């Protein structure tokens, strides 16, 4: 098994610290790190493959990273330390026997340390998406996932905005891919600025998620 860690990043000051920690945690695994960058000023990336993103959005960043992947197991994680690299081994171990492993804030043992209103909003949107799409998982939107490469190859993905895993889970369920959830602690970003948060762009992202969910349901994506 070779693990490819995809890290979409947009103006994240701690990206190189994160890369180092990922290498440290995964030193027992054959692995690679691929950063898909959409920063205003491209950062100097050390010890990882750098892909400069041409499209927009987090979901599309993952798609732009895929052609560079040489591993058979793909990790996606945020670049702001909200997803703890130390959780990687327990997620990766579960891929044996599953196709999709979700790092979940909402299963027993999982936690969300985000601000109160953000916790409420993400819980609400996740519930709405699960209900409409009949997903049998508690957390389709954490963004932290380990997914076999052949899952990406078999699904025709067409994401908008942030939530590509919701689409993967929905389309993957139809093809009978085996999914499981592993509890994670989702932390507040360690540094840098939010790309969503409160504000107009947060609201816009909320509406975008709803549109995305309905389009998936209606087979328009």
Ligand X SMILES: Nc1nc2c(ncn2[C@@H]2O[C@H](COP(=O)(O)OP(=O)(O)OP(=O)(O)O)[C@@H](O)[C@H]2O)c(=O)[nH]1
| Binding stretches for ligand X (CB under 6 A) | 8-10, 12, 36-38, 53, 56-58, 61, 78-80, 82, 189, 194-197
Q: Which does 172 bind (CB under 5 to 8 A by kind): ligand X, Mg ion, none?
A: none
Shortest CB 187 distance to ligand X, Å:
9
Q: How many residues would you count in the chain?
A: 221
Of 31 and 105, CB closest to ligand X: 105
Angle subtended by helix axes 164-174 and 116-133, to nearest 10: 20
Judged by phi (left if over 0) then psi (alpha if -120 to 50, else beta), residue 47 lies in left
Shortest CB 149 distance to ligand X, Å:
20
Of 136 and 190, CB closest to ligand X: 190
Of 82 and 130, CB closest to ligand X: 82
Shortest CB 189 distance to Mg ion, Å:
5
Pairing of strands 145-148, 100-104: antiparallel
Interacting positions 154-213 with Mg ion (CB under 5 A) = 189
How many Cα atoms sit within 13 Å of 2 on the Cβ side? Answer: 8
Shortest CB 218 distance to ligand X, Å:
25
Closest residue to bound ligand X by CB: 194
Task: For tokens 């703890």, name the residue.
Answer: 84
- What's the CA angle centered on 83, arms 138 and 51, to 5 degrees? 115
Of 56 and 113, CB closest to Mg ion: 113
CA 79 to CA 94: how far, in whole Å?
22
Interacting positions 47-86 with Mg ion (CB under 5 A) = 78, 80, 82
Shortest CB 190 distance to ligand X, Å:
9
Number of residues that bind Mg ion (CB under 5 A): 4
Give start and end residues of each alpha helix (H) in the chain. 15-25, 58-65, 88-93, 116-133, 149-154, 164-174, 199-217
Question: Which residues make up the interface to Mg ion (CB under 5 A)?
Answer: 78, 80, 82, 189
């Amino acid at each position: 098994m070779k693990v490819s860690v995809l890290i979409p990043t947009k103006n994240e000051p701690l990206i190189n610290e994160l890369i180092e920690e990922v290498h440290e945690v995964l030193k027992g695994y054959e692995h690679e790190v691929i950063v898909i960058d959409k920063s205003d000023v491209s950062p100097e990336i050390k010890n990882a493959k750098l892909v400069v993103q041409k499209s927009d959005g987090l979901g599309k960043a993952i798609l732009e990273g895929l052609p560079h992947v040489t591993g058979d197991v793909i990790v996606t994680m945020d670049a702001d330390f909200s997803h703890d690299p130390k959780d990687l081994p327990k997620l990766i171990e579960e891929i044996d026997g599953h196709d999709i492993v979700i790092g979940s804030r909402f299963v027993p043992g999982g936690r969300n340390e985000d601000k109160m209103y953000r916790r409420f909003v993400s819980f609400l949107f996740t519930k709405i998406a699960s209900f409409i799409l009949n997903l049998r998982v508690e957390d389709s939107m954490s963004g932290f996932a380990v997914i076999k490469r052949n899952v990406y190859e078999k699904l025709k993905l067409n994401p908008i905005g942030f939530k590509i895993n919701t689409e993967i889970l929905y389309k993957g369920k139809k093809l009978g891919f085996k999914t499981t959830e592993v509890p994670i602690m989702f932390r507040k970003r360690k540094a840098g600025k939010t790309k969503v948060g409160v504000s107009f762009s947060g609201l816009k992202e909320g509406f975008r998620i709803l549109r995305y969910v309905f389009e998936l349901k209606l087979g328009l994506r």
